[in-house]
Chain A
């Protein structure tokens, strides 16, 4: 029997999953929307992935903003932050990579590598400007499908100028330009450009971006954004065909490197998972304690700030 490993990346917008073999080749993968329901999304994802005959699942790694919850649900042996997972995933395909640019649904990050070791990283703070969420909300406003967003931007010869600092200002700029009667493709191109400028101003501020540069995350599928990264950085950035899966691949790789292999069962259909939030009345903090129930049995609870919230009932 060959071993294989599952990596799940549960982001705010999308849920990604891959199964890799011992040599880190992708056997099966899928990409679905989270739709604010990570438990159902993870169940759906796991059902859609198939483990071929002759393989047995020996490790599960989870990452993304719901990594803790889904990690518990799947019984993962590795629950790791996105920075490490993206770095490991990317290094598997591009061992000499020096810079990773990542723009996801709600956060964006830059990872600087030197000889396969992370030397610096940065994440956006306190602000969702220049992320996928901004692009998808604006695409609805303009009435352009998010999948066509990038190709429409490429048609533009004269992208409009849109403030790059802040989402709120960018949006009012956008409305203003639209009311002046600019062409749709010019506005879309301006938006793509503003995402790039915002990213470089906020997240990439003060970081030395050296080649080879790998661009990933959901937004990397937007060819318009890729074009403006190339133009502004004056280089050619690499976008892998699996760029949206890198975090999940990294989680799977980390799970295999953990060295705690055991046999996993992915049959989740008959098991009921439930999250119940309850307010601890121990003090005026009113901590929202999250309790995770598996078939009505409590498997874990977290969210408490002090010992008072620790009691498991």
Chain B
């Protein structure tokens, strides 16, 4: 039987992941259909009600992929209870009568290259270690380049003179990325497009409004899960700072989070997942004179519930506006937009009266 691999969607990251699997697994990659209301319906229908939304989203995508013929599913567990979702999703899908193999590449929030290699070797027994390391490296770089450019777009996206310029260039780059042959061409493409991005004409005022967005990783990174929060903010001409991205989670978190913990006086433990990191980001945003913080999470996200008290106290002491948003599988955008609009208006009003 032909092996067909599928994995869940999160932002634009299916491009590096499908690149990696297509190069080293020697089997077909199924590009998951975009997340739609049907995905969420499928996911929440088959999930326990009180699980967080990433579980429901990814389960929905798996069902859609299995129906399209996938037989190998890849999951990346997190450092919270998402780390245990792997087993539960497998059980639910088996109960639904699907036949498939299921692999968890990242367990307990650690990236263990050896373990990943072992899993990939199981999928493709002919895999050579040198080749896989080479493509690991390219994928890692690809993710880093993407995140680098997206960070720049977030800071400046609201101020482009011609609407949609950044998006067009970025999508063009992603298209080229998915077909690179070696590291040299990847780097060349990156440099080329970075220059193009830097050349985009901006109309950025000096006293622009700066908002930092923090919170639970999946909701932050998947636009469908956060109702296109970043696009809404861009419409209001806001400079956005987001810390969480895959580069950080997979390659930097181990070292950096230890440093963060040392610098925080009010926190002694890591508190699970990104709870402590988000407290550190709050401190960063306060110290760097940002105008507001939006904390977004899926409902029932335990680590983020744990840090909300600390964050709201820090913000209160430093007079920093903060907006807490919980999202669930409800797809109504109106209430969400009202809250963001009011938050923006409040910051603008405060700024005018400073």
Contacts and interface: CB of A to CB of B under 8 A. Distances in A.
A240 to B, nearest CB: 22
A117 B349 contact: yes
A285 B38 contact: yes
B34 A283 contact: yes
B319 A81 contact: no
A120 B321 contact: yes
Nearest to B350: A117
A247 to B, nearest CB: 13
Interface stretch (A2-10, A19-27, A121-129): A121-129
Interface residues of A, number: 23
B222 interface: no
Nearest to B228: A305
Interface residues of B, number: 28
A84 interface: yes
A119 interface: yes
Interface of B is mostly: helix
B195 to A, nearest CB: 28
Nearest to B38: A284
B342 A83 contact: yes
A286 interface: yes
A285 B343 CA distance: 28
A118 interface: yes
Contact of A83 (B37, B39, B334, B345): B345
Interface string A113-141: 00111111101011000000000000000
Contacts of A120: 321, 346
B36 A283 contact: yes
Contacts of A186: none
Contact of A118 (B33, B328, B349): B349
Interface of A is mostly: loop
B166 to A, nearest CB: 16
A120 B350 CA distance: 10
A82 B38 contact: no
Contacts of B346: 83-84, 118-121
Given A120-B321, A126-B328, A283-B34, A115 B353 contact: yes
Nearest to B312: A206
A162 B39 CA distance: 40
Nearest to B342: A83
B112 interface: no
Contacts of B299: 126
Interface string B303-341: 000000000100010010100011010100011001101
A126 B346 CA distance: 22
Contacts of A305: 228
Interface string A23-49: 000000000000000000000000000
A84 B37 contact: no
Given A117-B353, A284-B38, A126 B326 contact: yes
Nearest to A285: B36
Contact of B37 (A81, A82, A107, A284): A284
- Which of A80, A115, A117: most chain B Cβ within 10 A? A117
A81 B342 contact: yes
A92 interface: no
B152 to A, nearest CB: 24
B342 A119 contact: no
Given A81-B342, A125-B326, A286 B349 contact: no
Contacts of B350: 117-119
Interface in A289-313: 305
A156 interface: no
Interface in B1-59: 33-34, 36-39
A119 B319 contact: yes
Nearest to B325: A125
A287 to B, nearest CB: 8
B312 A119 contact: no
Nearest to B346: A118
A284 B38 CA distance: 6
A65 interface: yes
Contacts of B342: 81-84, 121, 123
A311 to B, nearest CB: 17
A237 B228 CA distance: 39
B45 to A, nearest CB: 15
Nearest to B34: A283
Given A82-B342, A117-B349, A284-B36, 20 more contacts: A80-B345, A82-B338, A83-B338, A83-B342, A83-B345, A83-B346, A84-B346, A84-B349, A117-B350, A118-B345, A119-B319, A123-B342, A125-B326, A126-B326, A126-B330, A284-B38, A284-B39, A285-B37, A285-B38, A286-B37
Interface of A: 65, 80-84, 107, 115-121, 123, 125-126, 206, 283-286, 305
Counting from the closest, the 10 A-B pairs by CB-CB distance are A83-B342, A285-B36, A284-B38, A118-B346, A284-B36, A117-B353, A81-B342, A81-B341, A81-B338, A84-B345
27 contacts: A80-B345, A81-B342, A82-B342, A83-B342, A83-B345, A84-B342, A84-B345, A84-B346, A84-B349, A107-B335, A117-B350, A118-B349, A118-B350, A119-B346, A120-B321, A120-B346, A123-B338, A123-B339, A126-B299, A126-B326, A126-B330, A206-B316, A283-B36, A284-B38, A284-B39, A285-B36, A286-B38
